[in-house]
Structure 1
Amino acid sequence: MIEVSETSLQSMLEKAVNEAKINHTSPLMSMTKEIKKIDPILFFEAAKKSAMDRTFWSSTADNFTVVGVGSAYDLIAETNRIEQTEAVWKKLLDEAIIHNPYETPGTGILALGGMSFDPTKQKSVLWKNFPHLAFTIPKFMLTEWEDACYLTMNIQVGKDDHPLQLADKLKRTEDMLLNTSGYLPEEPDIDKTEEVAPTEWKRTVKYATDFIKEHSADKIVLARERLVRLTDEAVVSTTLNKLTDTQPNSYVFAFERAGDCFVGASPERLVKQDKNDVLSTCLAGTAPRGKTKAEDARIGTSLLHDEKNRREHDFVVKMIRQSMENFCSSIDVPEEPVIYPLKNLQHLYTPVNATLKEGYSIFDIIGELHPTPALGGVPRNKSLAFIREHERVDRGWYGAPVGWLDSNRNGEFAVAIRSGLIQGNQASLFAGCGIVKDSEPEAEYEETNIKFMPMLSVLGG
């Protein structure tokens, strides 16, 4: 990684072209500057004019948002995905030429993306535009953190490129992106919704409880799908705006690929990295919110003392702690969970703080943690085998890690729940729940209905 002090875009590009000629490489050139405040969602909407794919990530509790436009480089892997991606990422950073005088997380070279829940499962046509793993280093990137705003331009440069022409083209696109309209289009209404084989799903729940009672597993997470048809093409920027307004304490995300867009608002952090400090989250055990403060408190207290939900939560806590021990030291886990409130739901929550050991990265932790018991089951191999054989839905990226990492050893990944895949005027929504030996199919079905609500409500339902 070459850190440079030049502030002229053209001089940066000249240096990158010279590096390409001398070293016979195609380095990434990255330049970050602070700009006046701009609404990230309006920036996302303005990027639609560019005809480039867009990415969006927001941690609503941290006042942190990243919007990516286009691709300077795509990291894509179908097999050995974690190891292969980390090797390519390291090589890119070693050769990169970076001007970034800020310590702000989410600036400089940053990759946003995710992966499929199960890379051994053949993709259906629904997820044809989403590889088993795909991370994008955006060509243009807006980062909002607390009260500051930054614009980063990334471009891969070759030995035959012309710095002046590249600089002129980048500047024209920058001007277009920063020229926001000041308003968002109206979201269309829902025309109709359709549940995918609900009776069959309930039968699968019953079969899973029988399977568990035979001591073949402790917990199996089953997901199902709900189809939504809109009166017109979905407006992703408006959907994101509604999600950020209505889903506090969540990670709001959108990953656009060839016109399809995977969108959601997940409350479940998988892992966060700040240099050597890492934080994971155990979020398992679910109940609805009450209509009054008193009812809400009663439901929360009941959730804290509910045997099924506590057992489900303890599965996740134990697994995350054991996984972190392989790569971390100074692991701190509270003895009891607390309630984590969201708009429609409340969950049992336990944070896990640790220090990353030398030689390990956020990729190591992701590879070890996924899938957590909250999305796969316990034991992992038996529950995944059951899901592969009996679950009708193709989860795609649902339930898998999505997030970002940057060139300054910062990053954050969430588990992609409360989400859906938007394709034109249609959306496939996904929800799941953990099945244990005393699960009742009808009760689990109603729990998934609650979990559909965050996406249904912002799509006009």
Structure 2
Amino acid sequence: MAGYAVYRLPKEEKCTFMMQAESVPLHLESCQEFDGHSGFVIAPFVVSDDKPIVLLQPETTNIYGSVGEIPADVAEMIDKMSMLDAVSADDEASGAERKHYSHDFRNCHDRLVSGAFRKIVLARMSAETVSCEKSPFALFRQACEMYPRMFVALFSTSRSGTWLMATPEVLLEQEGDAWHTIALAGTMQLEGDALLFDVPLGNGCGSLSPDNCPAWSDKNIQEQRYVATYIKECIGRFSHDVSEAGPCTARAGNLVHLRSDFRFALEEGAGIGRLLDMLHPTPAVCGLPKKETFDFIVRNEHTPRGYYSGFAGPLDVCGRTNLYVSLRCMYIRDSRNFHLYAGGGLLQDSVEEQEWNETEAKMETMRKILNH
């Protein structure tokens, strides 16, 4: 069987299941090849022969009123179609992750201090093992219940393997002639009453710091401004009608981020492929300058990212496009073994222990699902 995707958009109840079983998904070498296509996109951080852009072109698409309405036979089919690895004994020993992160941090920070980079995102992977078996569909259902504000997707193909994501970051949305993207960067972990505020998704931003939200540091504000400036410049090459709102404080689980919203109309003849090629990867997952930091990450980051910090979602399905950056995600190796991914933006004044703790907080999004 070729593959499937099941997903739920933020603040919606309905879930969409797509299956391609009679043919092989398209494998693309560049975002520019998207023009004229539709389906479910699974794009990696860096495209390679073994990690192509995968475009599911389903023969079957079913929409359910909620995750609870997905029939048992469909849930069973999802689990059976999941491409799971035979676990080998080559995973890192406990404690090695921290050592490798420290090495990578120093390597990145040296470039920031020297002025070669203004910002770079450092990512890491954590290998997690649970005591009882977890089915991919059960994890998806749990993610939908725990994270109603996020884009939740479970997808599996022979080339990508099986991934679950619960991400807050829009890469590109479209409905009719209306286009939308966001700049999301900066992170704080909040608890209890500090999370009792709301920023309506899709309705613009409120205040930078709600009354019950701690003030943002200069580092976080600067990091988010880098991302917002880059995204606005990219869009400006394809549109002369761009509106910006924000930044505001936006929730994602027990984390908050700084978010700016951009709405625009594409100029006639401008294709989504070229726009995506320009946007991805944004400084929120890569760095500035883009080419230099991207090349540095690919050459030097300890663990290859695979489909983490790429993007995924429906492309021109029922007249809508909803592509999200693949954050807060995990690679499902088998029913007990999982690879969790997270990263954080480094600036010249970044402190290693604080950045490590930020990645730990981001991994909690998936750990809570595994430990439920």
TM-score range, shorter chain: 0.7 to 0.9
User: How far apart are residue 339 of structure 1 and its match?
Assistant: 0.8
User: How far apart are residue 115 of structure 1 and its match?
Assistant: 1.2
Looking at CA atoms only, which structure, 1 or 2, has the larger radius of gyration? 1
Q: Distance in 1 between matches of 2:151 and 2:107?
A: 33
Alpha-carbon distance change, 458 to 74 in structure 1, aligned in 2, over 3 angstroms: same
Structure showing greater relative contact order (alpha-carbon pairs closer than 8 Å, 6 or more residues apart) = 2
SS of equivalent to 1:337: strand
User: How far apart are residue 301 of structure 1 and its match?
Assistant: 3.3
Alpha-carbon distance change, 197 to 293 in structure 1, aligned in 2, over 3 angstroms: closer
Q: What is aligned with 1:99?
A: none
Q: Distance in 1 between matches of 2:117 and 2:74?
A: 53
Deviations 1:366-420 (A, max 9, x none): 1111001010001101111221222011111100111111365421100000001
Residue identity opposite 1:65 in structure 2? C
Q: How does 1:83-122 map to 2 (within 5 A)?
A: 83-86=32-35, 89=37, 110-119=38-47
Residue identity opposite 2:134 in structure 1? A
Q: What is aligned with 1:231?
A: 131
User: How far apart are residue 276 of structure 1 and its match?
Assistant: 1.4
Q: What is aligned with 1:329?
A: 240
Q: Distance in 1 between matches of 2:301 and 2:230?
A: 23
Alpha-carbon distance change, 318 to 139 in structure 1, aligned in 2, over 3 angstroms: same
Tell me, yes or no, if structure 1 residue 134 matches structure 2 residue 83.
no
Deviations 1:6-53 (A, max 9, x none): xxxxxxxxxxxxxxxxxxxxxxxxxxxxxxxxxxxxxxxxxxxxx663
Q: What is aligned with 2:110?
A: 210
Tell me, yes or no, if structure 1 residue 414 matches structure 2 residue 324.
yes
Q: Which runs of 5+ in 2 are unaligned?
A: 80-90, 198-209
Q: How does 1:238-277 map to 2 (within 5 A)?
A: 238-258=138-158, 260-277=161-178
Q: Percentage identity across aligned positions?
A: 20
Q: What is aligned with 1:55?
A: 5
Q: Distance in 2 between matches of 1:393 and 1:181?
A: 32
**Does the 8 A contact of 2:34 with 2:272 survive in 1?**
no
Q: Distance in 2 between matches of 1:294 and 1:213?
A: 35
**Does the 8 A contact of 1:209 with 1:437 survive in 2?**
yes
**Does the 8 A contact of 1:71 with 1:137 survive in 2?**
no
Q: What is aligned with 1:69?
A: 19
Alpha-carbon distance change, 65 to 181 in structure 1, aligned in 2, over 3 angstroms: closer
**Does the 8 A contact of 2:28 with 2:55 survive in 1?**
no
Q: What is aligned with 1:359?
A: 269
Tell me, yes or no, if structure 1 residue 198 matches structure 2 residue 98.
yes
**Does the 8 A contact of 2:174 with 2:321 survive in 1?**
yes
User: How far apart are residue 113 of structure 1 and its match?
Assistant: 2.3
Deviations 1:102-123 (A, max 9, x none): xxxxxxxx51121110125x75
Q: What is aligned with 2:181?
A: 280
**Does the 8 A contact of 2:3 with 2:56 survive in 1?**
no
Q: Distance in 1 between matches of 2:195 and 2:185?
A: 23
SS of equivalent to 2:192: coil
Tell me, yes or no, if structure 1 residue 440 matches structure 2 residue 351.
yes
Alpha-carbon distance change, 118 to 180 in structure 1, aligned in 2, over 3 angstroms: closer
Task: Flag the structure with higher helix content.
Answer: 1
Q: Distance in 1 between matches of 2:35 and 2:4?
A: 23
User: How far apart are residue 257 of structure 1 and its match?
Assistant: 1.7
Alpha-carbon distance change, 446 to 118 in structure 1, aligned in 2, over 3 angstroms: same
Q: What is aligned with 1:393?
A: 303
Q: What is aligned with 1:28?
A: none
SS of equivalent to 1:138: coil
User: How far apart are residue 233 of structure 1 and its match?
Assistant: 4.2
Q: Distance in 1 between matches of 2:228 and 2:10?
A: 24
Q: Which runs of 5+ in 1 are unaligned?
A: 1-50, 90-109, 124-130, 152-176, 186-191
Q: Distance in 2 between matches of 1:181 and 1:247?
A: 19
SS of equivalent to 1:54: strand
Kindly tell me the number of residue pairs found equivalent between the two proteins. 343
Match of 1:220 among 112, 120, 125: 120
Residue identity opposite 2:239 in structure 1? C
Residue identity opposite 1:264 in structure 2? M
Deviations 1:274-318 (A, max 9, x none): 121100011101000123348996773322xx1100011001111
Q: How does 1:288-299 map to 2 (within 5 A)?
A: 288-293=189-194
User: How far apart are residue 84 of structure 1 and its match?
Assistant: 3.2
Q: How does 1:31-42 map to 2 (within 5 A)?
A: none
Residue identity opposite 2:154 in structure 1? A
Question: What TM-score does the superposition give when structure 2 sets the normalisation length?
Answer: 0.84
Give me the CA root mean square deviation: 2.9
User: How far apart are residue 73 of structure 1 and its match?
Assistant: 4.8
User: How far apart are residue 363 of structure 1 and its match?
Assistant: 2.4
Q: What is aligned with 1:156?
A: none
Q: Distance in 2 between matches of 1:406 and 1:294?
A: 34
Q: What is aligned with 1:402?
A: 312
Deviations 1:405-442 (A, max 9, x none): 13654211000000011021311110000011011111
Residue identity opposite 1:266 in structure 2? T
SS of equivalent to 2:260: strand
